Chains A and B, each alone.
Chain A
């Protein structure tokens, strides 16, 4: 059994990426034996995802400039394993009444906690583009994982579409790995980046990395277009993606390719926090509803959030907020707090917050493009719901916010539960009502966090 300190406190950490690793390290140092539950087969999270056992690519090939950080996070976690109750390959599908419901290999248990530290990470923020339902359209994160974990590309000739650092990072990783990168198509104008340079300078080496990635892509002769609008992803129901047309000003470009990797920066994975009844508030800078936490990550009711699952502040900051959240949990459980360490971590976090606000300014979510997406464009891919159907739920059926629109139109009702259409649906609903985006509300999270089999059985009673 695990999860408790000498006074019997049971602490559960969800997620074994950089935030979860540092949280676990902090708890173990304080004499606790936390339970660490992770969906991954191996620790590292998405950003420092490890390759399968029999793969032998070096850290430098897998993680580039972040190789040393990846190595350190992995080594830290590996050293912790004897001191924690580590449950890999395990899905947390619900949280209720002070218990985490975790499932593994068809069995589930309700595990009680005195403190719950949620390090649930992020997924891509996606925008609907005409034709994006074609086979061969991937999220940037998905395209990166295919390469990082399995050493495969999502296509022979890959088109990169969206905005944000990940757009350039993944395109460059594909190019380095020998994949044919057809084009990098950024919806953000270059001028925005220059205006955000002051804030981005809060992390000078990350700013420099970003510039190098762009230069590297251009040096390879890959077309990099900024400030574009996607017109259509061309494709066929059977053969999938064939290419893309984009426009800027009065001009259009067509690029051929058999796969699209797309994403508009990231969004926090907040389902677990939602099920744990953490309150949410609207964040104007990112036009999203985010869980409410204090500086240290406290979300109330013995729940703590850290890493990108709370705010998109990046992998480096996840290590900081992971430690902060664990320190907050320890303090709340009666352990003596290290005020100097806390101050130092909060100062580091402040720099990352400034950098993140620069990224939001440099690589904005294309709210207008999404709000004006054509009627026949599919908004919800899980349920194949078009913008026209969603707009009709607002018009004819008088839905005023996302959950009502979901009930009428099915947007967000499928297996992703609105992860990939929720942001866009809110924009479309708000625009259809000529109302502010926050009035469209947010899709309430419902269990299970990810699909669970009807064959799942409880084994703890």
Chain B
């Protein structure tokens, strides 16, 4: 049995936010694209994450990428023709009383961030509580970014995919690629049902599943699949504008929350569980939900009076240094990677898509991507 072979300029494996936004920007540059997604676009980590559109706290060298992304978020509605519920309502990062050394770190970070165009306002405990009276008494200081915010992860990647399709990109769901190889000029991709796809350029944006794809090209990249602990409360009157997070070296204290316009408060952080990419399964461990509640109640005691109506998780791929793999392959010409975002890819996602499209179309980008080189782990 033979089926027609799909030829495009670029094939993309993985329909998360990175793949969908790359498809959009590639199509915008006039390249033909086939985006191949095992399930439905944006259903995995891109659709299940917290939805933080947060620049502050990212490595300083990542801010140019984050700045590129925030310009896209701000124009998303017009650019994509549908609302992804981006709300530029600010982001506040706080530290707790027992870690006073964090104030110095916040000051230093704010100074460096300013040079990259991100303005942060440092607030003392009293100033913080005056502006955000729902913060707990253990909060010592905070760093406020007025120009960050949050968006709806369930809507973002599908919105990019639909917009890409309108520009001519082929968004091919329910299609699992089981093998890919490069023969002469073209990458040859084979789907589980035998369909064939060919392109001179292959972009791998397959999240926690990308290690397997890279392995077909002898680029062994260890990715650890993890599952975030997410919860959402019943809706309450809208009162909390900024997204809120904690600066701490202790992972269990790293809780965060945001209130959506319709009133629900989305809660996340503190712990991550294992996840199971081979089975497409992730589970919220009840003990993690309890730990999260405990730390959230300390950050914002008022939250303790609310009820959580739902918890969920997803499948995220983590690298050893929690930085993504992003850029050209070290071994195979025409092969590009953008995965391993380690639980912090949502904000930069559209910037990653635009940067990868630029890199593929022009061979270069001004965005610093050296820190994300695929061969940085050796081997």
List chain A positions with a Cβ less than 8 A from chain B: 93-94, 96-97, 99, 101, 108, 110, 396-397, 404, 407-408, 413-415, 417, 446-448, 451-458, 461
Contact = CB atoms under 8 A, between A and B. Distances in A.
B310 A454 contact: no
Interface of B: 40, 43, 47, 154-155, 158, 162, 233-234, 267, 283-287, 289-290, 293-294, 296-297, 303-312
Contacts of B285: 96-97
Most chain-A Cβ atoms within 10 A of its Cβ — which of B162, B284, B307, B312? B307
Nearest to B155: A408
Contacts of B286: 93-94, 96, 99, 101, 110, 447
A456 B309 contact: no
B293 A451 contact: no
A448 B308 contact: yes
A408 B307 contact: no
A447 B297 CA distance: 20
Contact of B307 (A97, A110, A452): A452
Contact of A407 (B47, B287, B296, B308): B47
A143 B287 CA distance: 37
Contacts of A458: 287, 290
A414 B293 contact: no
B35 to A, nearest CB: 14
Given A407-B47, A447-B286, 9 more contacts: A94-B286, A96-B283, A110-B286, A397-B158, A407-B43, A414-B309, A453-B308, A456-B293, A457-B290
Given A108-B290, A110-B287, A397-B162, A451 B307 contact: yes
Contacts of B155: 408
22 contacts: A96-B283, A97-B285, A99-B286, A110-B286, A396-B162, A397-B162, A404-B40, A407-B43, A408-B158, A413-B310, A415-B309, A447-B289, A448-B309, A451-B307, A452-B307, A454-B296, A454-B297, A454-B306, A456-B290, A457-B293, A458-B287, A461-B287
Nearest to A409: B154
Contacts of B283: 96
A452 B309 CA distance: 7
Contacts of A415: 234, 307, 309
Contacts of A452: 307-308
Nearest to B285: A96
A101 B290 CA distance: 11
A454 B307 contact: yes
A60 B286 CA distance: 44
A413 B233 CA distance: 11
Contacts of A414: 309
Contacts of B290: 108, 456-458
A454 B154 contact: no
Contact of A455 (B158, B234, B287, B293): B293
Nearest to B48: A407
A446 B282 CA distance: 12
Contacts of A448: 308-311
A446 B311 contact: yes
Contacts of A455: 293, 297, 304-305
Contacts of B312: 446
Contacts of B307: 415, 451-454
A447 B296 CA distance: 18
Contacts of B158: 397, 408
A154 B162 CA distance: 47
A453 B162 contact: no
B290 to A, nearest CB: 4
A330 B305 CA distance: 42
Contact of A408 (B154, B284, B305): B154
B294 A457 contact: yes
A25 to B, nearest CB: 30
Nearest to B161: A398
Contact of A417 (B267, B297, B310): B310
B289 A451 contact: no
Contact of B303 (A110, A447, A454, A457): A454
B329 to A, nearest CB: 32
B15 to A, nearest CB: 12
B294 A451 contact: no
The 4 closest A-B pairs by CB, nearest first: A451-B307, A455-B304, A407-B154, A94-B286
A453 B234 contact: no
A455 B292 CA distance: 11
B194 to A, nearest CB: 22
A408 B158 CA distance: 9
Nearest to B153: A407
Contacts of B233: 454
Contacts of A97: 285
A374 B234 CA distance: 28
Contacts of B297: 454-455
B309 A454 contact: no
A453 B231 CA distance: 11
A258 B51 CA distance: 43
A454 B293 CA distance: 5
Most chain-A Cβ atoms within 10 A of its Cβ — which of B155, B234, B286, B305? B286
Nearest to A403: B43
A446 B286 CA distance: 11
Contacts of B293: 454-457
A225 to B, nearest CB: 37
Contacts of B310: 413, 417, 446-448
B288 to A, nearest CB: 10
B296 A451 contact: no
A413 B289 CA distance: 19
Nearest to B154: A407
A457 B294 CA distance: 7
B156 to A, nearest CB: 11
A447 B309 contact: no
A451 B235 CA distance: 12
B311 A454 contact: no
B141 to A, nearest CB: 24
A329 to B, nearest CB: 23
Nearest to A448: B308
Nearest to A412: B310
Nearest to A461: B287
Most chain-B Cβ atoms within 10 A of its Cβ — which of A96, A446, A447, A454? A454
Given A407-B154, A408-B154, A415-B234, A454 B40 contact: no
Contacts of B162: 396-397
Contacts of B154: 407-408
Contacts of A451: 234, 307-309
A453 B287 CA distance: 15
B47 A453 contact: no
Contacts of B309: 414-415, 417, 448, 451
A415 B304 CA distance: 17
Contacts of B311: 446-448
A397 B284 CA distance: 28
A81 B306 CA distance: 34
